[in-house]
Amino acid sequence: MTGSRRWGIAVLALTGLILSGVWAAAGARPVQDDLRALLPAGGDARGWVKDGDPQEFAGEDLYTYIDGGAEIYQEYGFRRVVVQDYENAAGKSVSLEIYEMETPAAAFGIFTFKRSGQGKSIAVGAGAELEDYYLNFWKGRFLVTLTGFDDSAGTIEGLLAVAGTVDARIAGTSKPPDLIAALPEPGLKPGSAKYFKGLLGLNNVYSFQTARGLAFIEAVKGDYGDGATLIVMDYGSAGARASAWNELRVFLEGSDRFVRSGFGQGAPPLFRDAKGRYLAFAAAGPRLLLGISSGPSASIAMVGQSR
């Protein structure tokens, strides 16, 4: 065997080892190899066919597709998105976006961020909401957004047809993150629960701006029929939560946006913000609970029933 052949075989062997490592890593977190395989084709969606070629954006390229709104996707854990337009014989149009996120929790989170809670719940994917001529659903690591251009019956039919076809192409079943169960069910408004992974998502719910002590691992928020809101922030351990709460309390006490309010001995720490809303805090193991309401009693009651 010549030296050049031995060198070639050695290179092939090394390449195989490298690729096997890559495949093993990919196996530890399965990916959708071809995101476009989830797109309906031909007559799959009952008379709706592709209009033009699909576009795909990955990683930081999302900023070229979404002007001013990509940051929240990145915070949840964005991987890539494929975009495809559809039309039917009557000239109606529907735009389809399939976002692949890092985890099912990330897909659920961005779904809760995008839904308004005012739409109609649809039996598609692991959860769906149809409002006007917009339809969002999530399943596995995927968030699917469909947009029509009017609210006619034909357009709504197209949204449902395309959504159903994509749903069928995404394998498996999904359930929301366990932290969602921390929201007490009595009085919880349907569609109000939101799941977030960072300060950008939290500030969309209640703005602390750049306050310290909010580097939680995950958090959920729910609105209740009495007007109160509950936010549950999980820090992973009681020690991490205690350290974070010390930082957040110092920020609140030193800010001109918040005033410490007394409410009796043994009551949870209570603050009033510049809009007159009351914020009550309580600890529950690794979690920091925050109740927000127009009255101090309601805020304190909210964190009290959540421990």
User: In this structure, are 141 and 199 located in the same domain?
Assistant: no
Burial class (CB in 10 A: 0-12, 13-18, 19+), 287: buried
CATH number at residue 122: 3.40.1000.70
Tell me the torsion sign for CA atoms 188, 194, 199, 202. Answer: negative
Question: Tell me, what DSSP letter sits at residue 107?
Answer: H
User: In this structure, are 156 and 183 located in the same domain?
Assistant: no
Strands ordered across the beta sheet of 127-131: 49-58, 78-87, 93-101, 142-148, 134-139, 127-131, 120-121
Q: Could you tell me if residue 30 is inside a domain?
A: no
User: In this structure, are 186 and 160 located in the same domain?
Assistant: no
Q: List 95's β-bridge partners, or say none.
A: 85, 147
Structure tokens at 283: 């600890």
User: In this structure, are 182 and 290 located in the same domain?
Assistant: yes
Torsion, Cα 124 126 132 133, to 10 degrees, reads: -60
Give the C-alpha separation, 38 to 172, whole Å.
Answer: 14
User: In this structure, are 128 and 61 located in the same domain?
Assistant: yes
Q: Could you tell me if residue 51 is inside a domain?
A: yes
User: In this structure, are 106 and 143 located in the same domain?
Assistant: yes
Q: List 86's β-bridge partners, or say none.
A: 50, 94
User: In this structure, are 183 and 154 located in the same domain?
Assistant: no
Domain boundary among 126, 144, 169: 169
User: In this structure, are 196 and 268 located in the same domain?
Assistant: yes
Q: Could you tell me if residue 14 is inside a domain?
A: no
Checking if the pLDDT of 226 tops 70, the result is: yes
User: In this structure, are 242 and 183 located in the same domain?
Assistant: yes
Backbone angles phi, psi at 291, to 5 degrees: -105, 130
Q: Could you tell me if residue 207 is inside a domain?
A: yes
Residue 59 confidence (pLDDT): 96
Checking if the pLDDT of 142 tops 70, the result is: yes
Residue 29 confidence (pLDDT): 37
Q: Could you tell me if residue 183 is inside a domain?
A: yes
- Asked if 116 and 127 touch (Cβ cutoff 8 Å), the reply is no
Q: Could you tell me if residue 29 is inside a domain?
A: no
- pLDDT tens digits, one per residue of 66-107: 988 999 999 999 999 999 999 999 999 999 999 999 999 999
Across 110-263, where does the E strand assignment appear? 120-121, 127-131, 134-139, 142-148, 194-196, 218-223, 229-234, 258-260
Buried residues in 122-137 as b, exposed as e (16+ CB within 10 A): bebbbbbbbeebbbbb
Residue 193 C-beta-side C-alpha neighbours within 13 Å: 20
Query: Residue 33: pLDDT band by 50, 70, 90 thresholds?
Result: low
Rounded mean pLDDT of the chain? 88
User: In this structure, are 157 and 46 located in the same domain?
Assistant: yes
Query: Residue 187: pLDDT band by 50, 70, 90 thresholds?
Result: very high
Give the C-alpha separation, 35 to 57, whole Å.
Answer: 11
Give 9 or 297, the one with higher predicted confidence.
297
Torsion, Cα 205 211 215 221, to 10 degrees, reads: -20
Give the C-alpha separation, 165 to 49, whole Å.
Answer: 12
Q: Could you tell me if residue 292 is inside a domain?
A: yes
Average pLDDT (216-244) is: 97
User: In this structure, are 162 and 187 located in the same domain?
Assistant: no
Domain boundary among 122, 147, 169: 169
Q: Could you tell me if residue 147 is inside a domain?
A: yes
User: In this structure, are 49 and 67 located in the same domain?
Assistant: yes
CATH number at residue 183: 3.40.1000
Tell me the torsion sign for CA atoms 233, 236, 237, 243. Answer: negative
Give the C-alpha separation, 70 to 73, whole Å.
Answer: 5
Q: Of 88, 11, 108, which Cα lies nearest the Cα of 43?
A: 88
Domain boundary among 136, 169, 202: 169
Checking if the pLDDT of 116 tops 50, the result is: yes
Domain count of the fold of the chain: 2
pTM as predicted:
0.86
Share of the chain above pLDDT 70, in %: 88
Q: Of 184, 180, 190, 181, which Cα lies nearest the Cα of 220?
A: 180
Checking if the pLDDT of 11 tops 90, the result is: no
Average pLDDT (290-303) is: 94
Note down the domain range covering 185: 178-304
